[in-house]
């Protein structure tokens, strides 16, 4: 197990935090002011994380998406909670966290606009072949304007289909409407729960709720905005990809495993769909064989929330959550407040 490097011991500190990966300021300062912070001295293995959780030395683990808290880790854990530096928490088995009295907290809302910006960027970049054009330019192939050079597709008057209708989907819808797109959505693809006017709010009249089949078969851009769970794993599979229009483009800024990435590569190779814009991957940081070689893809390294101010705000929320959990109070962004009711 890696040893833990810590600053000078603070014997007065009661609260103990284990931060698996340093997160931006102001978080580290907030945590150090509130208690004692340990960091791993090197790369953190799954076993190191399990040992840190079971050691009884820490109140809170400040974690990020690569840290896996499965049933075994949580059953053995002697911690009050986990403060996840992300809005998503599919790296944590929340059911078993709750069963073991482990509070889980996340960082919602502050990354909504930044992630919607990346969805829009991928829509524009795939439609207008921005990466191909950039590569063309840098490789010295541009020898003057030509009527047929790198023709892409319009997004105005095209249909954007949103898989899900949560905060990030709605922020993407607002941007798409401003670009003159028609926006349809299926709020809960696994249940097809009808959406009422409260869900639509300011988007009423600009967007339309449709069933899953209509969403898949009529969208020019199908953009994924649902959390990853058992119901959404491989929601976009070979059958869905083959049901999409051959001219359509898949966008994923949510979680990689929602899309069957091997099936996606086949669909792109066989031209069952025209292109894909991805910020997330099924087995990060790896990509499915063949994906990187396809010219009709725009591939980003999970940067949906990656702006200086968003990451600082996520860090602040993450520290607030951690400090609250360590103090034995329900954190501002609790995922499972019931964990302490048991
Ligand atoms: C999240 O917060 O869940 C993103 O994927 C990373 O910011």
pLDDT at position 204 = 83
Q: Is residue 1, in this structure, part of any structural domain at all?
A: no
3-state secondary structure of 247: coil
Token pair listed for 43: 């790369």
Task: For the chain, give the mean pLDDT.
Answer: 94
pLDDT at position 196 = 67
Q: Is residue 209, in this structure, part of any structural domain at all?
A: yes
pLDDT at position 99 = 97
CB 154 within 8 A of CB 127: yes
CB 98 within 8 A of CB 336: yes
* pLDDT band, very low/low/confident/very high, at 2 (cuts 50, 70, 90): very low
The closest residue, in CA terms, to atom 4 on ligand 1 is 86
Dihedral-angle region of residue 204 (phi above 0 means left; psi in -120 to 50 means alpha; beta otherwise): beta
Are both 145 and 218 inside the same structural domain? yes
Q: Is residue 31, in this structure, part of any structural domain at all?
A: yes
d(CA 255, CA 230): 13
Q: Which of 92, 226, 304 to mutate to test the pocket of ligand 1 (most atoms within 8 A of CB)?
A: 304
Q: Is the pLDDT of residue 229 over 60?
A: yes
> What is the rounded average pLDDT of the residues 266-292?
98
Is 78 considered catalytic here? no
pLDDT at position 194 = 65
Span of 44-48, 200-204, 210-214, 315-319 with lowest mean pLDDT: 200-204
Are both 263 and 325 inside the same structural domain? no
Is 333 considered catalytic here? no
pLDDT at position 5 = 44
Report CA(28)–ligand 1 centroid distance (Å): 19
CB 67 within 8 A of CB 49: yes
Report CA(57)–ligand 1 centroid distance (Å): 28
Are both 145 and 72 inside the same structural domain? no
Report CA(304)–ligand 1 centroid distance (Å): 7
Are both 159 and 195 inside the same structural domain? yes
* pLDDT > 70: percent of the chain: 93
Q: Which residues line ligand 1 (CB under 6 A)?
A: 86-88, 111, 304-305
Q: Is the pLDDT of residue 138 over 50?
A: yes
Are both 50 and 152 inside the same structural domain? no
Cα-Cα-Cα-Cα torsion 106, 110, 111, 117, nearest 10 degrees, comes to: 160
114-127 tens-digit pLDDT: 999 999 999 999 99
pLDDT at position 266 = 98
Q: Is the pLDDT of residue 39 over 50?
A: yes
The enclosing H or E element of 160 equals strand 159-163
The DSSP bridge pattern shows strands 36-40 and 4-5 to be antiparallel
> What is the rounded average pLDDT of the residues 254-279?
98
| CATH number, domain with residue 101 | 3.40.50.720
Catalytic residue chosen out of the listed positions 158, 225, 255, 311: 255
Nearest atom, ligand 1, residue 305 CA: 7
Q: Which of 62, 91, 117, 305 to mutate to test the pocket of ligand 1 (most atoms within 8 A of CB)?
A: 305
Are both 47 and 156 inside the same structural domain? no
Report CA(141)–ligand 1 centroid distance (Å): 37
The closest residue, in CA terms, to atom 6 on ligand 1 is 86
Q: Is the pLDDT of residue 108 over 90?
A: yes
Are both 127 and 71 inside the same structural domain? no
d(CA 300, CA 122): 9
pLDDT at position 17 = 98
Report CA(336)–ligand 1 centroid distance (Å): 18
155-202 tens-digit pLDDT: 999 999 999 999 999 999 999 999 999 999 998 776 666 676 667 778
Are both 73 and 192 inside the same structural domain? no
Q: Is residue 10, in this structure, part of any structural domain at all?
A: no
The closest residue, in CA terms, to atom 2 on ligand 1 is 86
Token pair listed for 41: 């001295």
> What is the rounded average pLDDT of the residues 79-86?
98
Nearest atom, ligand 1, residue 86 CA: 2
Are both 279 and 238 inside the same structural domain? yes
Q: Which of 84, 115, 118 to mutate to test the pocket of ligand 1 (most atoms within 8 A of CB)?
A: 115
Are both 88 and 193 inside the same structural domain? no
pLDDT at position 215 = 97
Q: Is residue 146, in this structure, part of any structural domain at all?
A: yes
- Per the structure, the complete domain to which residue 106 belongs is given by 15-110+309-337
* pLDDT band, very low/low/confident/very high, at 297 (cuts 50, 70, 90): very high
Long-range contacts at 242-246 (CB < 8 A, ≥ 24 apart): 242/267, 242/272, 243/213, 243/216, 243/217, 244/216, 244/217, 244/219, 244/272, 244/273, 245/217, 245/218, 245/219, 245/220, 245/273, 246/271, 246/272, 246/273, 246/274
> What is the rounded average pLDDT of the residues 129-158?
98
> What is the rounded average pLDDT of the residues 63-80?
97
Note the pTM of the prediction, 2 decimals.
0.93
Span of 9-18, 46-55, 85-94, 238-247 with lowest mean pLDDT: 9-18
Q: Is residue 2, in this structure, part of any structural domain at all?
A: no
Are both 59 and 199 inside the same structural domain? no
Q: Is residue 152, in this structure, part of any structural domain at all?
A: yes
Are both 280 and 314 inside the same structural domain? no
Is 302 considered catalytic here? yes
- What's the domain count of the chain? 2
For 49, residues 6+ apart whose C-beta sits below 8 A from its C-beta are 20, 61, 67, 68, 69, 73
Q: Is residue 283, in this structure, part of any structural domain at all?
A: yes
């Amino acid at each position: 197990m890696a040893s833990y490097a810590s600053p000078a011991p603070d014997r007065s500190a009661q609260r103990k935090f284990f931060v698996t990966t340093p997160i931006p300021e102001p978080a580290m300062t907030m945590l150090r002011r509130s208690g004692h912070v340990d960091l791993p001295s090197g790369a953190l293995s799954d076993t190191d994380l399990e040992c840190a959780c079971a050691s009884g030395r820490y109140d809170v683990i400040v974690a990020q998406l690569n840290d896996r808290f499965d049933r075994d880790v949580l059953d053995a854990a002697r911690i009050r909670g986990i403060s996840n530096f992300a809005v998503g928490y599919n790296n944590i088995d929340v059911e078993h966290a709750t069963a073991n009295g482990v509070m889980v907290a996340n960082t919602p809302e502050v990354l909504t606009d930044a992630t919607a910006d990346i969805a829009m960027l991928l829509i524009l970049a795939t439609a207008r072949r921005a990466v191909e054009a950039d590569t063309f330019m840098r490789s010295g192939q541009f020898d003057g304007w030509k009527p047929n050079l790198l023709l892409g597709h319009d997004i105005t008057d095209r249909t954007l289909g949103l898989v899900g209708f949560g905060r990030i989907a709605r922020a993407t819808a607002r941007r798409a409407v401003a670009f003159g797109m028609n926006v349809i959505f299926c709020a809960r693809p696994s249940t097809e729960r009808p959406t009422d006017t409260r869900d639509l709010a300011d988007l009423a009249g600009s967007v339309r709720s449709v069933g899953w089949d209509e969403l898949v078969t009529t969208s020019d851009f199908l953009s994924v905005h649902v959390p990853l769970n058992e119901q959404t794993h491989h929601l976009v599979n070979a059958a869905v990809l083959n049901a999409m229009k051959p001219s359509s483009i898949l966008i994923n800024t949510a979680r990689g495993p929602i899309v069957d990435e091997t099936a996606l590569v086949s669909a792109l190779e066989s031209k069952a769909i025209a292109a894909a814009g991805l910020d997330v991957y099924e087995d990060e940081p790896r990509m499915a064989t063949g994906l990187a070689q396809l010219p009709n893809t725009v591939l980003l390294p999970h940067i949906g929330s990656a702006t200086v101010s968003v990451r600082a705000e996520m860090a602040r929320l993450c520290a607030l959550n951690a400090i609250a959990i360590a103090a034995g109070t329900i954190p501002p962004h609790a995922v499972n407040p019931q964990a302490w009711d048991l």
